[in-house]
Structure 1
Amino acid sequence: MGGQPGHDRHERAPFTPAELDAHWLWYYTECPCCRGKLRDAQELGRTIQQVELPQVPVQIEQHTAQGQWCPKCQRIFIPTLPDELRKAGLVGPRLTALVGFLKGACHMSYSTLRKYFRDVLGVTISRGMLRKLVGKVTDSLADPYEALCAMLPTEDRLNVDETGHKENGHRLWTWCFRAYLYTVYKISPSRGSEVLVATLGKEFDGILGCDYFSAYHKYMRDFGVLLQFCLAHLIRDVKFLVEHPHKKNQAYGLLLLADLRRLFGVIHQREEYASPDNFQRALEKARRQLVWDATRRAPLSREAYNLAQRFRTNADSYFRFITEPGVEPTNNLAEQAIRFVAIHRRITQGTRGEDGRRWCERIWTVIQTCSQQGRSVFEFLCAAVTAYFRSDEAPSLLPDTS
């Protein structure tokens, strides 16, 4: 089958010989035409590579400490089993990591996990044991998670967003802090600026991409933090005026919408400008026109006045991306990172206590960060759980900038 109309055909690259577990050659036992003897030729026919699940996909082991008699000491000595073996217990590190992967990345409930273990792996396991395994994965991710939290206040560019979180009928908030190569999630009972202070500190020196929510305003006012308000949210507010029953609001909204389209047109045509200076001048011109129309041509209505006041008091925070390299004009990065959380919330119906919150914070952080860094979530979980069972140093999620 080829690609969809308008798209190039895509074929996966074949597995290399080193990746094959078996290679089968198919022969005739005799000539299909005359039934005579055949000799191998240089020509090869069709090759099919096939991936299959083993009939028994798990390995069951038994470890026994053998008692040994010393005739000289007249004593029986029983060796101590390795700490990592005793700490893991019934389920080994890779299978423990798989439970974490299925629970976190695949949104599986404990009931679905039990069915998977029973029907696919051929192992019966209780819900209580599955909860213990998830707890072990949670503990194994503590150090990598805290290391990223400690990095957040040092970033020069961050995008932040928040969404609701359910817990036993109470409403909490999931905060998402997205840097270039990692993302951190925090669940808090508060949606206020105190979360920003606790996470980023009072001396945060970077630029925060965010929406127009009041917590960010307070953080900016109290500590002089630089913000980049999301232009995509601004466009939605302008479209509200376009659809308003008041004719003057409609005209005002259409005027600002045309200015915003002109601004984004400049951004999207960046490569067509002869030099960066020409591009910068075009951006500044589009910005000036938008601010002028927003502040000087607003009709006498409450809706238009509120929008005009945004530009009078926060115009710089809408256009920080023009003067600061690496700043995005929208908050799409954080919104994309928090979409996974919204899906998880709908499927799982939230958490029941602190253990569940810690699990969500850490596994979401691992999943999103590994995605940004092009790493395997499952292999990272395997490394983290193995290190935890061995009491070794945990693997790092800190970006490699070397």
Structure 2
Amino acid sequence: MEERIDELEEKIAQKDKRIEEQNERIEEQQERIEELETRLRKYENPHTPPSKRRSGTDESPTSQDDEDDDVRTDGGTPGRKDGHNPEWRSPPDPDEEIEVTSDCCPECGDHFDESVGVSPRLVEEVPDPQPPEVTQYNRHRYQCDSCGTETVATHPDCPDEGQFGVNVIAQSALSRYDHRLPYRKITDRFEQLHGLELSGASAWHATERAARAGRCEYEQIRREIQEAEIVHVDETGIKRDGDQAWIWTFRTDEHTLYAVRESRGSDVPAEVLGEDFAGTVICDGWTAYPAFSSTLQRCWAHLLREAEDVASDHEEAEPVYRYLKQMFVGLQSWLETDPDPRARAQMHRACQDGLRSLVERSVTDEPVATLLGKIEGGLDHWLTFVGEPAVSPTNNAAENALREPVVLRKIIGTLRNDRGMFVHETILSLLATWRQQGRNPYEELTRVVHDNEMISREQTVPVVETSG
């Protein structure tokens, strides 16, 4: 009998051990599930634009055939969309025409009398890589017999510092911020194309010189934005020496300014735009914006994405999402009729009353209540675009402006110090603004570097030596 009891106790102990092991595996699997869900929320959340959300298909891109390598992972397809007109490349005018003739038939060898037609073909080619031009400037020194002042002669193409010219400085900055190359790759590029030996440190210093040369134009962009009637503003994280910082963008129709700051508070727009900024700020729901200005347009793209996300999990939010979407689509169609100011004011009041009624409904789900709270918190800022024709209902312009800094963030990882922040915000602002205005970034960079050299010479006091 005792042996039977011992046998049963041993079996029970074994089962308890298996149960304990299974519980441990379940806990490990649960932790793994939570980790994967956290990673998924990075791509599947209401603050992620549709273009960056992952495809809803279960098939992994790596399991597709080679012929499907160009299928996009966001659910779209490559190439021209249906209904869009094709874009044709305009043929250039030839710089030279060469007559290509033949004397005899390649089949039978009979001689041709004359050509019966011409089949033109345009061929575009770039010149062979050019070696660097090395110039020695023998700068003569002069001493005044009257006052003893010693002066060194200057030349417009001879820089006051360093041994690299304007084109090298401009190409270094463009290679870094336009072509997104690491500095070691920039040195490879100069070596391969021009046979110019350039160290990574020299490429960095050349890029820094381009930023210092363009800083006056950067400040001019800021002054233009400060005077604008409408400014799109947004911010995203960036690292400074491994610590959290933020890159802000301020964008108008013709200017884009970036500012790298360690703060995400209202002090940044107050610094960049000025305490007395009188324009309209188009933004998302971050608290820094209402703390800075009361004249806002909250982004409807953010609102509709968040409402859709909540409605997908909570049935109680479905009528809220439908109401918001119908209101937005209806307003877009109505505004295309170009209503007069009086009609706009009436529509503004009617829609605001509708939003008030929406947020006053009683709900039980906490996420739905949170959504309604956000709508209520921005009641004075959702409908600015109804009364102001030039105001956009979304902040897509600022979000688009942040795409390039986000790509660079993935490449460079972190900015090292204040000098890196200075260069980063300056070059990015200049390139973005020049592109908005249809200007050639390379030509503009060479211009600002050359002009800065001229201004520096005019403002620099010559070396003075007085004869004892």
Task: Determine if the TM-score, normalized by the shorter chain, exceeds 0.5.
Answer: yes
Aligned partner of 2:419 among 329, 345, 355: 355
Matches for 1:136-215 after TM superposition, within 5 Å: 136-215=209-288
* TM-score, normalisation: structure 1: 0.81
Instruction: Indicate how the Cα distance of structure 1 residues 79 and 235 shifts in structure 2: closer, same or farther if over 3 A, else same.
Output: closer
Matches for 1:232-251 after TM superposition, within 5 Å: 232-244=301-313, 250-251=314-315
For residue 125 of structure 2, what is the aligned residue in structure 1? 51
- Cα deviations across residues 254-284 of structure 1 (Å, max 9, x unaligned)? 11211222123224435874x6259849965
Could you tell me how far 1:211 is from its partner in structure 2? 0.9
Matches for 1:239-388 after TM superposition, within 5 Å: 239-244=308-313, 250-270=314-334, 273=337, 276-277=339-340, 280=344, 284=348, 287-288=351-352, 290-388=354-452
- Distance, in Å, in 1 between the alignment partners of 2:289 and 2:80 is 44
- Distance, in Å, in 1 between the alignment partners of 2:234 and 2:335 is 30
Residue type matched to 2:309 in 1? F
For residue 216 of structure 1, what is the aligned residue in structure 2? 289
Could you tell me how far 1:207 is from its partner in structure 2? 0.8
- Distance, in Å, in 2 between the alignment partners of 1:267 and 1:23 is 57
Residue type matched to 2:177 in 1? G
Contact in 2 for aligned 1:259/1:286 (Cα 8 Å): no
- Cα deviations across residues 94-114 of structure 1 (Å, max 9, x unaligned)? 232111111111211111111
Moved more, 211-220 or 261-270: 261-270
SS in 2 for 1:228: strand
Could you tell me how far 1:23 is from its partner in structure 2? 2.9
Residue type matched to 2:339 in 1? P
SS in 1 for 2:102: coil
Structure 1 stretches of 4+ with a deviation exceeding 6 A read: none
User: How many residues of Structure 1 are paired with residues of Structure 2 in the alignment?
Assistant: 366
Q: What RMSD over aligned residues (CA atoms) do the two structures have, in Å? A: 3.0
Contact in 2 for aligned 1:165/1:172 (Cα 8 Å): yes
- Distance, in Å, in 2 between the alignment partners of 1:256 and 1:290 is 11
Instruction: Indicate how the Cα distance of structure 1 residues 279 and 27 shifts in structure 2: closer, same or farther if over 3 A, else same.
Output: farther
Could you tell me how far 1:87 is from its partner in structure 2? 2.6
Identify unmatched segments of 5+ residues in structure 1. 68-77, 245-249, 394-402
Aligned partner of 1:226 among 284, 290, 295: 295
- Distance, in Å, in 2 between the alignment partners of 1:46 and 1:84 is 43
For residue 90 of structure 2, what is the aligned residue in structure 1? 13
For residue 132 of structure 1, what is the aligned residue in structure 2? 205
- Distance, in Å, in 2 between the alignment partners of 1:66 and 1:285 is 73
- Distance, in Å, in 1 between the alignment partners of 2:345 and 2:180 is 48
For residue 101 of structure 2, what is the aligned residue in structure 1? 27
Contact in 2 for aligned 1:65/1:79 (Cα 8 Å): no
- Distance, in Å, in 1 between the alignment partners of 2:428 and 2:328 is 32
- Distance, in Å, in 2 between the alignment partners of 1:309 and 1:9 is 46
State, as a whole percentage, how many aligned pairs show the same letter.
23
Contact in 2 for aligned 1:294/1:307 (Cα 8 Å): no
Instruction: Indicate how the Cα distance of structure 1 residues 241 and 10 shifts in structure 2: closer, same or farther if over 3 A, else same.
Output: closer
Contact in 1 for aligned 2:139/2:154 (Cα 8 Å): no
Instruction: Indicate how the Cα distance of structure 1 residues 369 and 298 shifts in structure 2: closer, same or farther if over 3 A, else same.
Output: farther
Contact in 1 for aligned 2:137/2:158 (Cα 8 Å): no
Contact in 2 for aligned 1:174/1:187 (Cα 8 Å): yes
Contact in 2 for aligned 1:252/1:297 (Cα 8 Å): no
- Cα deviations across residues 199-245 of structure 1 (Å, max 9, x unaligned)? 2222221111111111112223xxxx31111111112321232133x
Larger radius of gyration: 2
Identify unmatched segments of 5+ residues in structure 2. 1-78, 141-150, 458-468
Moved more, 230-239 or 98-107: 230-239
Contact in 2 for aligned 1:266/1:279 (Cα 8 Å): no
SS in 2 for 1:359: helix
SS in 2 for 1:369: helix
Residue type matched to 2:100 in 1? W
SS in 2 for 1:375: coil
SS in 1 for 2:443: helix
Instruction: Indicate how the Cα distance of structure 1 residues 65 and 366 shifts in structure 2: closer, same or farther if over 3 A, else same.
Output: same
Moved more, 100-109 or 280-289: 280-289
Instruction: Indicate how the Cα distance of structure 1 residues 37 and 153 shifts in structure 2: closer, same or farther if over 3 A, else same.
Output: closer
SS in 1 for 2:402: helix
- Distance, in Å, in 2 between the alignment partners of 1:79 and 1:251 is 80
Residue type matched to 1:208 in 2? V
Could you tell me how far 1:363 is from its partner in structure 2? 0.8
Kindly indicate whether structure 1 or structure 2 has the higher relative contact order, using CA contacts under 8 Å at least 6 residues apart: 1
Instruction: Indicate how the Cα distance of structure 1 residues 285 and 218 shifts in structure 2: closer, same or farther if over 3 A, else same.
Output: closer
Could you tell me how far 1:298 is from its partner in structure 2? 3.5
Residue type matched to 2:322 in 1? A
SS in 1 for 2:277: coil
Contact in 2 for aligned 1:259/1:289 (Cα 8 Å): no
SS in 2 for 1:186: strand
